[in-house]
């Protein structure tokens, strides 16, 4: 227990006194993590949450969330389950707030089954709940399950947001399904998310990974505003598909448009110049890197490999 919580001096936990004091206890009351086992037994002294006022419930929820976050950060599944059990035994209704953090804790602890169990038992879910569960499936490469959940989400009338589209587009790219990606693209258009930089970049990456160069270029051309990630996605796409001259042309255009390249930009472009045929262009990029003053170990390794 000390190994998990040793770095944290205090944690807020519910007690009768906390329930009486209200939300101020969220700032004033703490128990040492070294006494965590003893603190867990305070459940015997808890009032029923149904008799507590709203401020007290918020303070207790914040206490549990703090514990769940630390369990997730430490990837301590056993302790996370015990905190979950304490929530249930204490009579707390696992609503949206606690439910979402339970899903995230199980996600970080690599437990898909328990995350889905929490999700299914939540009496009410918001878009964050759906995104969290879709993210669990994507993280564990269960892309078809992620897409099924995306479909269920819409059937239940929950509107996807930019994060939803980014996660599900990652699934399409990993499934190498251009047709499915096109369908998600159409959904993003209907929800007016296509113009969002994050979604636009995810669409570019999806099309590149599915081998659809024209669609990637078309998406890039339509973006009303491009950030360095947009340019890197295009340069990286050209590099992966062996189009070194197009990658270099785009680097020059990026410079003309006043967009500052970063280490990722140069790593992508150097990948394109790994072949002996493109070595001359690679040397030009090397000179550009020196002139721009970029230095990093990763960039140095990319130059050596080129």
Residues 95-138 have pLDDT tens digits of: 899 999 999 999 999 999 999 999 999 999 999 999 999 999 99
pLDDT, tens digit, 9 for 90 and up, residues 184-223: 999 888 877 877 899 999 999 999 999 999 999 999 999 9
pLDDT at 270: 80
Question: How many Cβ atoms from other residues are within 10 Å of residue 167's Cβ?
Answer: 24
Angle, helix 77-89 to helix 112-121, in steps of 10 degrees: 20
Please give the residue that has the higher pLDDT: either 165 or 58.
165
Q: Is the pLDDT of residue 265 over 60?
A: yes
Q: Is the pLDDT of residue 145 over 90?
A: yes
Q: CA angle, 280 as apex, 214 and 262 as ends, to 5°?
A: 60
Q: Is the pLDDT of residue 14 over 60?
A: no
pLDDT tier at 9, thresholds 50, 70, 90 = very low
How far apart are alpha carbons 219 and 255 in whole angstroms?
Answer: 20
pLDDT, tens digit, 9 for 90 and up, residues 51-91: 333 333 343 678 888 889 989 999 999 999 998 998 888 78
Burial of 37-52, coded b for 16+ CB within 10 Å and e otherwise, reads eebbebbeebbebeeb
Tell me which residue of 42, 96, 32 sits closest to 65, measured CA to CA.
96
pLDDT at 242: 86
pLDDT at 20: 37
What is the token pair recorded at 277? Answer: 């045929």
Q: Indicate the pTM of the whole model.
A: 0.74
DSSP one-letter string for 217-263: HHHHHH-SS--HHHHHHHHHHHHHTT-HHHHHHHHHHHHHTTPPP-H
What is the token pair recorded at 77? Answer: 């599944």
Give the gyration radius of the chain's Cα atoms: 25
**Beta strand extents in the chain (DSSP E only):** 10-11, 31-32
How far apart are alpha carbons 288 and 194 in whole angstroms?
Answer: 33
């Amino acid at each position: 227990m000390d190994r998990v919580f040793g770095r944290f001096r205090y944690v807020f936990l519910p007690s009768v006194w906390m329930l009486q004091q209200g939300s101020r206890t969220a700032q004033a009351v703490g128990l040492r993590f070294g006494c965590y086992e003893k603190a867990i037994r305070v459940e015997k002294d808890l009032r029923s949450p149904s008799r507590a006022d709203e401020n007290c419930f918020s303070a207790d929820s914040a206490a549990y969330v703090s514990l769940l976050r630390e369990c997730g950060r430490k990837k301590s599944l056993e302790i996370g389950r015990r905190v979950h059990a304490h929530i249930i035994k204490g009579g707390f209704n696992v609503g949206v707030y606690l439910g979402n953090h339970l899903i995230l804790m199980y996600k970080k602890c690599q437990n898909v089954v328990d995350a889905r169990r929490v999700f299914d038992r939540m009496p009410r879910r918001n878009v964050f709940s759906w995104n969290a569960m879709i993210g669990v499936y994507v993280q564990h490469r269960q892309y078809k399950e992620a897409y099924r959940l995306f479909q269920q989400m819409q059937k239940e009338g929950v509107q996807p947001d930019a994060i939803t589209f980014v996660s599900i587009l990652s699934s399409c790219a990993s499934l190498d399904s251009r047709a499915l990606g096109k369908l998600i693209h159409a959904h993003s258009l209907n929800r007016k998310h296509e113009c969002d930089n994050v979604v636009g970049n995810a669409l570019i990456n999806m099309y590149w990974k599915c081998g659809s160069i024209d669609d990637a270029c078309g998406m890039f051309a339509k973006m009303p505003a491009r950030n360095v990630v947009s340019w890197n996605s295009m340069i990286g796409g050209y590099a992966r598909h062996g189009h070194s001259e197009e990658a270099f042309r785009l680097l020059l255009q990026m410079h003309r448009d006043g967009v500052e390249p970063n280490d990722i930009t140069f790593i992508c472009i150097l990948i394109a110049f790994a072949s002996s045929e493109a070595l001359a262009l690679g040397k030009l990029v090397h000179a550009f890197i020196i002139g721009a003053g970029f230095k990093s170990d990763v960039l140095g390794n990319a130059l050596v490999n080129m």
